[in-house]
Amino acid sequence: MSPSWPFAILAGIAFVAVSPFTRSLEGAGTDPVNRWSVAAADAAAASGMPPLRTPITFALLHLAMFDATNAVVGGHQPYAVAPDVVRPASAEAAAIEAGYRVLLAEFPTQQAALRLVYQELLASFPDGPPRSNGASVGASVATSLLALRANDGRNATIAPTPGSGPGAWVPTPTGFLQPTTEFLGRVTPFTMNSPSQFRPAGPTRLTSNRWAEDYDEVKALGVRKGSIRTAEQTATALFWEPLAGTVWPASIRRLAAEQALDIGESARFQAAAFAAFADALIGCWDAKFQYDFWRPVTAIRNGDTDGNDRTDPDPGWEPLSTTPAFPEYPSGHACATAAVTHVIEDFFPHAVIPARNVVTGEGRLYRKASEVVDEVVEARMLIGVHFRSSNEDGADIGRKVARQIRSRWFKPRP
Percent above pLDDT 90 for the chain: 85
pLDDT tens-digit readout, 17-76: 232 222 333 444 468 999 999 999 999 999 999 999 999 999 999 999 999 999 999 999
Kindly give the parts of the chain with pLDDT less than 50: 1-29, 175-177
DSSP string, 313-341: --TT--BSSPPPSS--SS-HHHHHHHHHH
At the topology level, CATH places domain 166-408 in Vanadium-containing Chloroperoxidase; domain 2 (1.10.606)
pLDDT score at 158: 85
What are the residues facing 76 on neighbouring strands?
412
Determine the distance from the C-alpha atom of residue 129 to the mean position of all C-alpha atoms in its chain, rounded to a whole number.
37
- Tell whether the torsion through CA atoms of 293, 154, 158 and 249 is positive or negative: positive
Residue/partner pairs of 211-216 with CB below 8 Å, 24 or more apart: 211/306, 211/308, 211/311, 212/308, 212/310, 212/311, 214/387, 214/388, 214/389, 215/296, 215/299, 215/300, 215/303, 215/308, 215/310, 215/311, 215/387, 216/310, 216/311
Cα of first residue to Cα of last residue in the chain, in angstroms, is: 33
Residue/partner pairs of 406-413 with CB below 8 Å, 24 or more apart: 406/343, 406/346, 408/191, 409/79, 409/191, 409/272, 409/275, 410/66, 410/76, 410/77, 410/79, 410/268, 410/271, 410/272, 411/76, 411/77, 412/75, 412/76, 412/77, 413/74, 413/75, 413/76, 413/77
pLDDT score at 6: 27
pLDDT score at 124: 85
Q: Is 323 in contact with 387 (CB distance < 8 Å)?
A: no
Q: Is 380 in contact with 386 (CB distance < 8 Å)?
A: yes
Question: Rounded distance, CA 364 to CA 82, Å?
Answer: 39
Between helix 332-347 and helix 248-258 the angle, nearest 10°, is: 10
pLDDT score at 159: 77
At the topology level, CATH places domain 32-148 in Vanadium-containing Chloroperoxidase; domain 1 (1.20.144)
pLDDT tens-digit readout, 121-176: 999 888 999 999 999 999 999 999 999 999 999 999 887 777 889 999 988 765 44
- Tell whether the torsion through CA atoms of 173, 176, 179 and 184 is positive or negative: negative
pTM exceeding 0.85: yes
pLDDT score at 47: 97
> What are the structural domain ranges in the chain?
32-148, 166-408
Question: Rounded distance, CA 217 to CA 279, Å?
Answer: 30
Question: Rounded distance, CA 34 to CA 252, Å?
Answer: 9
pLDDT score at 178: 54
